[in-house]
Amino acid sequence: MTLLNFPDGFIWGTASSAHQVEGGNWNNDWWLWEHIPGGVFAGGGADPSGDACDHLFRYPEDIALLADLGFNAYRFSIEWARIEPEEGLFSTQWLDHYRRMIATCRDHGLTPIVTFHHFTSPRWVHADGSWENPAVVDRFARYCERVVAHLGDVMGVVCTINEPNVVALYGYRLGMFPPGLESTAARAAATEHFIAAHRKAVDIVKAGPGNSPVGLALSMTDFQALEGGEERMARYRYKMEDVFLEACRGDDFIGVQTYTRDRIDPEGRVAPEDGVPLTLMGYEFWPQSLEATVRRAWEVTDQTPVVVTESGIGTDDDASRVDYVTQALQGVHRCLDDGIDVRGYCYWSNLDNFEWLFGYKPTFGLVAVERETQVRSAKPSAAWLGGIAKANALTV
């Protein structure tokens, strides 16, 4: 047996996002998307978000459970559509709600990791060009100013925007996420506006009360070029990752989130390799992606500190979750051994929750949620990972 110790102060958290867990989140573009008759979502046969995990009301027990299990941080997002339900109309009631959530984390010894934007935008933003419209940059900045003025003194760590690269690709180029565009130019515009919005949000956090470390959370993949696919892979990866990583150089941290690998040949993406098991998302079981992407983020950002803001697996076999996370953490440990400044690991996700286009089918949670009754039951992996967090060490 080997004991792999992690550095003092290492963040051990789990992650969620407002739309995926709160429930009744009807004022944003995703709710709209879920209910367009005959739309991409409706046609996919998945259940809409609905009451989700009722985390809106059950967060006290959910947060208490995370603390009991041994975690020291909780990453969640603030819903822009609640804070600013109509343009320029801000809700103190909802800002207070998130302040109570932060206080609950603090009361339980958890550092709140607060994300300002996790995939969803208010309906009024959606109705006016969403992230393709340059106006969104100042709109987002104004929302961040309100959030920071109200919560800046208590926030622990801030993620400005979650996976803007995924939203730009799926929402603006592939037509799968709202606003459902299929345009290279729209994707480029959304990318530019996300980056500008991130830069403004960083300045706002820095200028506001409190001194939370602030960074962006990026979706990354272990890109592997098959013979002859090198150029294509580099081009693809540039648009998907590098353009964002370069824009985040020198930030307090870069959030790395990864789930699998992507193999590219001269024609494009290739199908999963024979013999590699698939997860409920249809991804290759590839925990090695975490080490690969942490190393790459560190390199491309010129050694910006890394926080793993998401890593996890959608599976109905909890033992395979333990296997996946064990291998992923061993990779993180090798990065630490090589002097890479990794500051934390957040498992996606604490709860089985609304997995976007897939509805409630893929189960990523450490804690199962009974859909009809909302009853929670911790899976064995919850106590296992919480034990690692408590010990600040992984035994292999």
Residue closer to ligand BGC (CB basis): 6 or 119: 119
Residue closer to ligand BGC (CB basis): 162 or 212: 162
Candidates 158-166, 179-187, 326-334, 384-392; binding stretch for ligand BGC (CB under 6 A):
158-166
Candidates 71-79, 160-168, 180-188, 272-280; binding stretch for ligand BGC (CB under 6 A):
160-168
Among 42, 67, 166, 280, binds ligand BGC (CB under 6 A): 166
In the window 31-70, what residues touch ligand BGC (CB under 6 A)?
A: none
CB atoms within 10 A of CB 96: 12
Among 104, 130, 162, 311, binds ligand BGC (CB under 6 A): 162
Buried b (16+ CB within 10 A) or exposed e, 228-247: ebeebbeebbebbbebbbeb
Candidates 45-53, 89-97, 159-167, 183-191; binding stretch for ligand BGC (CB under 6 A):
159-167
Among 17, 115, 121, 212, binds ligand BGC (CB under 6 A): 17
E strands, the chain, are: 3-5, 11-15, 73-77, 111-118, 157-162, 214-225, 253-265, 268-269, 306-311, 342-348, 367-369, 376-378, 393-395
Encoded one letter per residue, x for contact with ligand BGC by CB under 6 A and - for no contact, window 308-327 reads --x-----------------
Residue 338 CB contacts under 8 Å (≥ 6 apart), including other chains = none
Q: What is the largest CA-CA distance in the chain?
A: 58
Omega cis (within 30) before 266: no
Residue closer to ligand BGC (CB basis): 12 or 360: 360
Q: Does 163 bind ligand BGC (CB under 6 A)?
A: yes
How many Cα atoms occupy the beta-carbon half-sphere of 163 within 13 Å? Answer: 20
Q: How far is the CB of 153 from ligand BGC (least distance, A)?
A: 27
Integer Cα distance of 303 and 301 in angstroms: 5
Residue closer to ligand BGC (CB basis): 291 or 355: 355
Residue 16 CB contacts under 8 Å (≥ 6 apart), including other chains = 55, 75, 76, 77, 349, 350, 351, 353
Integer Cα distance of 266 and 248 in angstroms: 30
Number of residues that bind ligand BGC (CB under 6 A): 11
Residue closer to ligand BGC (CB basis): 33 or 364: 364
In the window 250-309, what residues touch ligand BGC (CB under 6 A)?
A: 257
Give the burial class of 39: count Cβ atoms within 10 A of its Cβ; 0-12 exposed, 13-18 middle, 19 or more buried.
middle
Contact 76, 132 (CB under 8 A): no
Candidates 58-66, 100-108, 162-170, 289-297; binding stretch for ligand BGC (CB under 6 A):
162-170
**Contacts to ligand BGC by CB under 6 A:** 17, 20, 162-163, 166, 219, 257, 310, 348, 355, 364
